[in-house]
Chain A
Amino acid sequence: MSHVVAAKGPRKVRADRSDYLLRGSSYLTVTAFAAFCALPFILIVSASFSSESAIMREGFGLLPKDFTFAAYEYIFRAPRQIIGSYVVTVVMTVAGTSLGLFIIAMTGYALQRKDFPFRNQISFFIYFTTLFSAGLAPTYIWISRYLGLRGNYLAVFLPLLMTPWLIILMKNFMRTVPYEIVESGKVDGAGDFRIFFRLVLPMMKPALATIGLFLALGYWNEWYLSSLYLGSTVEFKPLQYHLYNIINTANALRNSVAGSNVSITELPSNTLKMASAVVATGPIVLLYPFVQKYFVSGITVGAVKG
Chain B
Amino acid sequence: MMRNALARIGAATLALAMTTTALAACSPSEGSESGDPTTITMLVLGDKPTNGRLEAMLDKLNERLEAEANADLELFYVEWADWQTQYNTQLLSGDDSIDLITTATDWLFAWENAEKGAFLPLSEEMLQENAPRTWEQVNADGHWDLTKLDDGQIYFIPEDNYTQYTNHGFFYRGDWAAEAGIPDGTITKFEQFTTYFEWVKEHQKDAYPWDIAGANDAALTGYLQGHTDGQTIQQISAGNYFPFQTTEADPYTVTSWYMEGDELLQAAELAKKWNDIGVWREDALNYDGDTREEFYAGLSGADQHHTQTFVTQIVDNMTKKQPGSDPKFFYWGQENGNVFKDILTHGAMAVNATSKHPEKALEVYDIVRNDEEAYKLLNFGIEGTDYVVTDDGELAYPDGYDSSTDALGSNFWAGRMDDFELDKVTDAPNKGEIYADLDAVAKEYPYSTLIVNKDMIDPTLAAMGGVLSEYLPQLQYGKFDDPAAAIEEMRQKLRDAGYEDARESIQSDMDAWASERGLK
Contact = CB atoms under 8 A, between A and B. Distances in A.
Nearest to A260: B166
Contacts of B48: 232
Contacts of A245: 47, 79-81
Interface in B499-516: none
A266 B404 contact: yes
B86 A56 contact: no
B82 interface: yes
Interface residues of A, number: 54
A240 to B, nearest CB: 12
A145 B94 contact: yes
Contact of B290 (A233, A250, A262): A250
Contact of A251 (B78, B288, B299): B288
Interface string A263-277: 111110110000000
A173 interface: no
A249 B95 contact: no
Nearest to A237: B79
Contacts of A260: 107, 164, 166, 306, 308-309, 346
A141 interface: yes
Interface in B95-141: 95, 106-107
A227 B78 CA distance: 10
Contacts of A140: 89, 92-93
Given A146-B21, A248-B80, A259-B305, A265 B107 contact: no
Contacts of B313: 263, 265
Interface string A139-173: 01100111111100000000000000000000000
B46 interface: yes
Interface in B269-309: 288-290, 292-294, 296-297, 299, 305-306, 308-309
A121 B8 CA distance: 12
Contacts of B5: 118, 121
B492 interface: no
Interface string A183-205: 00000000000000000000000
Contacts of A137: 92
B411 A150 contact: no
Contacts of B21: 146-147
B410 to A, nearest CB: 12
B6 interface: yes
B34 interface: no
B107 A257 contact: yes
A256 interface: yes
A148 B95 CA distance: 9
Contacts of B404: 266
B293 A266 contact: no
A40 B132 CA distance: 61
Given A256-B83, A261-B411, A266-B404, A141 B107 contact: no
B24 A147 contact: yes
A150 B95 contact: yes
Contacts of A124: 2
Given A258-B83, A269-B290, A141 B6 contact: no
Contacts of A267: 290
A57 B305 CA distance: 23
Interface string B305-327: 11011001100010000000000
A276 to B, nearest CB: 12
A77 B50 CA distance: 11
A252 B289 contact: no
Contacts of B47: 232, 245, 249
A232 B78 contact: yes
A231 B292 contact: no
A148 B290 contact: no
23 contacts: A56-B297, A77-B405, A121-B9, A125-B9, A140-B93, A144-B92, A147-B20, A150-B93, A227-B81, A228-B89, A231-B79, A231-B90, A232-B77, A244-B81, A245-B80, A248-B82, A252-B83, A256-B83, A258-B45, A260-B306, A260-B346, A262-B46, A264-B292
Given A231-B79, A252-B83, A256-B107, 14 more contacts: A120-B2, A121-B9, A124-B2, A140-B93, A146-B21, A147-B21, A148-B27, A227-B85, A232-B76, A232-B77, A249-B81, A251-B288, A253-B80, A258-B107
Interface of A: 52-53, 56-57, 77-78, 80-81, 118, 120-122, 124-125, 137, 140-141, 144-150, 227-228, 231-233, 244-245, 247-267, 269-270
